[in-house]
Chains A and B, each alone.
Chain A
Amino acid sequence: MKTVQTPDLLFTGKRIWLVGLIVSFVAAVLLTGCESMDTVAQIGTAVGVATGTIDQSQAESIQKSAKAVSRSFQDFTPEQEYYIGRTVGAIIVNKYKPYQNTAANRYINLLGQALARASDLPETFGGYHFLILDSDEINAFAASGGFIFITRGLLRCCRNEDAAAAVLAHEIGHVQSKHGLQAIKKSRITTALTTLAVEGTKTFSGQELAELVNTFEGSITDITATLINNGYSREFEQQADLAAVTILQRTDYDPNGLVEMLKIMQDRLRPGGLDFARTHPSPVSRMVDIQKLIGPYRTVSKPDTRQQRFSHYLGDI
């Protein structure tokens, strides 16, 4: 399970004092003699260069240095991830169409957002949002930054709220581990981030903007091809199931809901189908992996109020 990395923040106060002491010592030496003037001047020059403007040749050297640095999907800011997610989401929702049932969508958002808060990535640039797709396919998609889509066909595999929570938690797991961004070809990430280094020196316009949009289009195609056609690796699906189990347990749902959902999915998936049959490992193999984590299956207990609201909003899905 990936955990949120936080810097060791509490020791920084000591560093301020240390730097202060060192600089004070240097200042005392310098005030009694000017031998070190050259060194100081060099520092000043460096500062001056850093605050000046740069020309094209300097920009090229920046590009080279940026290329030298290992670039990966982790270099995308949450803001960039959000814009990737919006367009991937737009493509999904144009292909499948939203399910026009405000109450059901609202219920899914309450459930999903409660679960997202228990994930390792509860805060994304624009927050988590959930939408039911009007499709009989057994399918779900997670676009970067927290745009999550789930078909009516997949919700029909859920007999209780714990099972529906499991489906959403699995998709949150994909967002948390940034699996969407990892579907982007490495060469494109390098292009995108090095273009930024050069293009950022001026207002995007004309050719430069066109090149960046080309890279954006390519990245979107990489992601949607993976989500819709090819599926993630078995390893990524296992990571998402593992994340789902953790999120469910933290929120107080029974992870056996995931097993119950997979049992129904197993009966309903058709070989050769263009949905989870193509993009996900078999439900049986997923159940085996999940039960290694949570132990033998036991029936999910369903408090009345929880089951009533599930039936009310999703009973006729």
Chain B
Amino acid sequence: MNRCKTAWVVAVVFFLAASIAAADNLMSIQIKKGQLRTTPSFLGKIVAELSYAERVAVLEQKDSWIKVRASAINAEGWLHASALTSKTIVLKPGAADVAQSAGSDELALAGKGFSKQVEGEFKTRNPQLDYTAINQMEQMVVSQEQIEQFLKDGRLSPKGGIK
């Protein structure tokens, strides 16, 4: 009986240890929307979009670009390293996550600290402060094609980081 119990506990420990080891090879999207590209460059074609906190498996690294696999949507592609964190981002953190995040660098909590909720409360205290222009500013988005055309029209041939 004892032996069975021990075997069961060992299985659990093995699972946890394997998870921790595997976690080293996983990263999280740390921006609102991560775009997977065909090549390690902003000029690469966008093949898929990933959401904040989504976990991806690291396949390859080339300078500041990382090739990942997003199992959930069965897609592979390149992301700039600044879009990724080695931390696990918890979208709806509970007490255990908070306990863990306080003592380690492995977890990040979404929506905590300076967040949408804090901004909302700040707005209530400062009703004269108008966010309209900031919201409009965020809506001014230019596409990949427009940037490429802009560079081409301006006789610009980017190198290094942009490629």
Residues on A lying within 8 angstroms of B by beta carbon are: 3-4, 6-7, 9-10, 12-13, 15-16, 18-20, 23-24, 26-27, 30-31, 34, 37, 40-41, 43-44, 47, 50-54, 58, 62-63, 65-66, 69, 76-80, 83-84, 86-87, 89-91, 93-94, 98, 105-106, 109-111, 113-114, 117-127, 129-131, 147, 161, 192-193, 195-197, 199-202, 204, 209-210, 212-213, 216-217, 219-220, 247, 249-253, 303, 305-306, 309
Contact = CB atoms under 8 A, between A and B. Distances in A.
Going nearest first, the 7 A-B pairs with the smallest beta carbon separation are: A200-B98, A250-B160, A123-B83, A197-B102, A12-B24, A123-B82, A62-B102
The residue among B12, B16, B20, B95 with the most chain A CB atoms within 10 A of its own CB is: B95
B62 to A, nearest CB: 10
Interface residues of B, number: 88
Given A90-B129, A124-B31, A19 B99 contact: no
A15 B118 contact: no
Given A4-B81, A65-B103, A94-B130, A114 B147 contact: yes
B9 A40 contact: yes
Interface in B77-130: 79-83, 86, 89, 93-103, 108-119, 121-122, 125, 128-130
Interface of B: 2-3, 6-7, 9-14, 16-18, 20-22, 24-25, 30-32, 34, 42, 52, 58, 60-61, 64, 66, 79-83, 86, 89, 93-103, 108-119, 121-122, 125, 128-131, 133-134, 136-138, 140-142, 146-147, 150-151, 153-162
A13 B134 contact: no
